[in-house]
Amino acid sequence: MAKRRRIGDVPAVDAETAELGPLYRDEQIPVAEIAVRLGRTAGEVRGLIARHELPARPRAQARLADDTIDVAVACRLYATDGLSLREVAERLGTTPDKVRVRLSRAGVELRAPGRHPWVTPLDRDWLADAYANRRLSDSQIAAEAGCSPAHVRNELRRHGIRRRRGPAPLPPGWTPLTPEVLRQLYEVEALTIAEVAERVGGSPARVLAALHRAGIETRAPGTPSGRRLTRLTPELLHRLYVEEGLSAAQVAERVGGDGNRVRAALVRAGIPRRPRTRPLRPVNATRQDLVDRYVDQRASLDELAREYGTSVNQVRLRLRAEGIRRPLPPPPVPKPPPPEELRRFYVEEGRTLAQLVAHYHVGRDRVRGWLIDAGITVAPRTSRAHRRQLPVDQMSEWYWEDGCTAADIAERLDTTVNLVLRALHDAGVRVRLGGPRRDPDEAMCVLDQLYADPAVGKVLRRHRVPRRLQPGPIAERFPAPAPTTRALLEELYVGVGLSARHIELLIGQPAGQVLDALHAYDLPVRPVKSFSPWRQRQLSG
């Protein structure tokens, strides 16, 4: 067995490692690239370097060395011209760190960060005029002075120059909003606020604020251009509304605004409103006339309003008071599909009535009528007597002798697993328990287990349900099934914990009707796929 090499062990030196010195020391190749050339790992290469005591290279120099930098140019830009490391790097197309390394190697003394003693101080008067009077920004002043914005800010702070407070200069193309300009545009020329904003520049909010500052009364929203609202004094309203007899809408045409403004002013002035010039007439017709016109002849509300000389609302109120409603037209009868299509779906493809109902979006009775009209024999509704009888003897042989499962038998007989299990239980065949317990000795006959349960026996005796111990189809065991009363179902389903299928074996009612009765009695129904409490007790016992 090969001995595992410990971490840090270095392979023996061979001819391949003779190239390590020139690669690492002379050519300054990175360790990762040396490892690729020698076919080794980076750790092994570092171990060889330590064993041969090769001098380690400074990491900063190895990483930042850049022979493409012209040292003379870098020194001139940095020491003579006074550029920063970042500006020198931008001129030479490299990084500030690489410039710092090359300058350090060349013996150039680096300045402390932020120290620029060679920058010419800015004149205070010129700086104050540019910053406070002309209101130039830091960048604009730096562009004129040929320095950096940071130097401009330092000089402003050193001289104690602060920008005057006051309105900012208007953008190019904007007109100052003086009261004279506003009165000329808004009152004389009767422009809207939006039109004034387009003329002077800016937004309508700027114009509206300027109008408020100038004390100019604004027009009501929606007032046409050139129309000013007249103040509605009580004297003016009395003269127009009472003496001249104008309506609210006519007064609004005189003074501006709309009728609602005039009516509100009338209420504030205490002037009573005149009644309507033409009061609405009630519908002068008997109930039978309305029934004939609205229901039988199907006249519209507009036609009835014109006929009786009133409004549509008066007709609607009268119809509602009389309880007259126009019946809805009968729904359209769906057209039956072609008989060959029904035959193909129902006979050849074997679709069920439920599938045809979902396909045609109609009721089950209508689909059944279509099939009968097309001459197609419809399968009778299933009942206890019409249940499909499976070959129980053959199924029992497959189940116990061949070791088939219920699913295997259902596949052979082209049926479902539930029908296979139901047939086995009806015939009294022992069925293996579900879950991981597959021992044949633990198989149970559900019918025998049900009748052997003392709790089940008490409920059956209390409700006088006969005991049918002989296995067989449900219609033969119970010619007359026991009634599904609420007390019986509540005791068997809720109290004992039987399933609907177990109750079917005891009272002779199909499991589907048992579930329907549970829902009708508002009894809680358990999920179908879960084991019943009684079955769980059998499995755990």
- What is the mean pLDDT of the segment spanning 406-412? 78
In the predicted model, what is the mean pLDDT of residues 150-160? 81
Task: Check pLDDT > 70 for residue 56.
Answer: no
Instruction: Check whether 355 has a pLDDT greater than 50.
Output: yes
pLDDT for residue 436: 40
pLDDT tens across 364-405, in order?
888 888 988 888 887 765 555 556 677 877 777 777 777 788
Four-residue CA torsion sign, 144, 148, 153, 159: negative
Q: Are 31 and 46 in contact (CB under 8 A)?
A: yes
Other beta carbons within 10 angstroms of residue 500's beta carbon come to: 23
CA distance 178 to 210: 8
Q: Is the pLDDT of residue 489 over 50?
A: yes
What's the maximum distance between 2 C-alpha atoms anywhere in the chain? 126
Beta strands in 177-334 (DSSP E): none
Q: Tokens for 76, please give them.
A: 């001139």
Measured between alpha carbons, how far is 224 from 256 in angstroms, rounded to an integer?
9
Given a cut of 80, is residue 429 above it in pLDDT?
Answer: no
CA distances to 206, 221, 269, 392, 529 from 264, in Å: 31, 16, 9, 92, 72
Say yes or no to pLDDT of 151 above 80. no
Higher pLDDT residue, 82 or 439? 82
Q: What are phi and psi of 444, to 5 degrees?
A: -130, 150
Q: Do the Cβ atoms of 119 and 82 come closer than 8 Å?
A: yes
Q: Residue 382 burial (CB < 10 Å; 0-12/13-18/19+)?
A: exposed
Instruction: Look at 171-185, 248-262, 309-323, 370-384 and tell me which has the smallest mean pLDDT.
Output: 370-384
Asked if the model's pLDDT at residue 321 lies above 80, the reply is yes
User: Percent of the chain at pLDDT above 90?
Assistant: 1
CA distance 522 to 510: 19
pLDDT at 11: 44
State the Cα–Cα distance between residues 70 and 64, nearest whole angstrom: 14
Tokens, residue 314: 């008066």
pLDDT tens digits, 491-526? 888 888 888 888 888 888 888 788 888 888 888 888
DSSP state of 444: B
Count of residues in the chain: 541
Which band of pLDDT confidence, cut at 50, 70 and 90, is reported for residue 169?
A: low
Among 102-106, 116-120, 296-300, which stretch is predicted with the lowest mean pLDDT? Answer: 116-120
Lowest-pLDDT range of 28-32, 39-43, 89-93, 378-382: 378-382
Q: What is the mean pLDDT of residues 90-98?
A: 82
Report yes or no: 468 and 412 within 8 Å, Cβ to Cβ: no
Mean pLDDT value of segment 146-156: 78
Angle at 503 between CA 499 and CA 507, to 5 degrees: 175
- Asked whether the predicted pLDDT for residue 233 surpasses 80, the reply is yes
Mean pLDDT of the 113-140 span: 74
Per-residue pLDDT band for 164 (boundaries 50, 70, 90) equals low
Signed CA dihedral, 253, 254, 256, 257: sign only: negative
pLDDT tens per residue, range 59-81: 544 444 456 678 888 888 887 77
Which amino acid is located at 412 in the chain?
A: R
Name, in order, each residue with C-beta under 8 angstroms of 539's C-beta and a sequence gap of 6 or more. Answer: 433, 434, 435, 437, 531
What tokens were used for 375? Answer: 């001459």
Q: Is 113 helix (H, G, I), strand (E, B) or coil?
A: coil
- Domain residue extents for the chain: 124-159, 234-269, 287-322, 339-373, 392-540
* Inter-residue contact 175 to 181 (CB < 8 Å): yes
> Which whole-number Å values give the CA distances from 45 to 12, 15, 28, 29, 63, in the listed order?
12, 14, 14, 12, 18
The pLDDT-based confidence of 338 (bands split at 50, 70, 90) is: very high
The pLDDT of residue 340 is 92
CA 510, distance to chain mean position in Å, is: 46
What's CA 143's distance to the chain center, in Å?
A: 52
Cα distance between residue 333 and residue 330, in whole Å: 9
Report the distance separating Cα 124 and Cα 126, nearest Å.
6
Stretch 289-300: mean pLDDT: 88
Q: Indicate if the alpha-carbon torsion angle 21, 25, 26, 28 is positive or negative.
A: positive
Neighbours of 481 (CB within 10 A): 17
The residues near 269 (Cβ < 8 Å, ≥ 6 apart) are: 232, 234, 237, 238
Average pLDDT over residues 407-411: 79
Choose the most confident range, by mean pLDDT, from 68-77, 157-166, 184-193, 232-241: 232-241
CB contact at 8 A, 319 and 294: yes
Q: Mean pLDDT throughout 453-472? A: 86
Please state which of the ranges 127-131, 299-303, 437-441 shows the lowest mean pLDDT.
437-441
- pLDDT of residue 464 exceeding 80, the answer is yes
> CB–CB of 334/362 below 8 Å?
yes
Side-chain-facing half-sphere of 9: CA atoms under 13 Å: 7
On whether the CB atoms of residues 135 and 163 are closer than 8 A, the answer is: yes
Radius of gyration of the chain (CA): 51
pLDDT at 190: 72
pLDDT at 2 over 70: no
- As a whole number, mean pLDDT of residues 70-98 equals 80
Instruction: Give the model's confidence band at 44: pLDDT under 50 very low, under 70 low, under 90 confident, else very high.
Output: confident
**For range 231-237, the mean pLDDT:** 86
Check pLDDT > 60 for residue 451.
yes
What integer pLDDT is reported at residue 165 of this predicted model? 59
pLDDT mean across residues, the chain: 78
Mean pLDDT throughout 9-28? 62
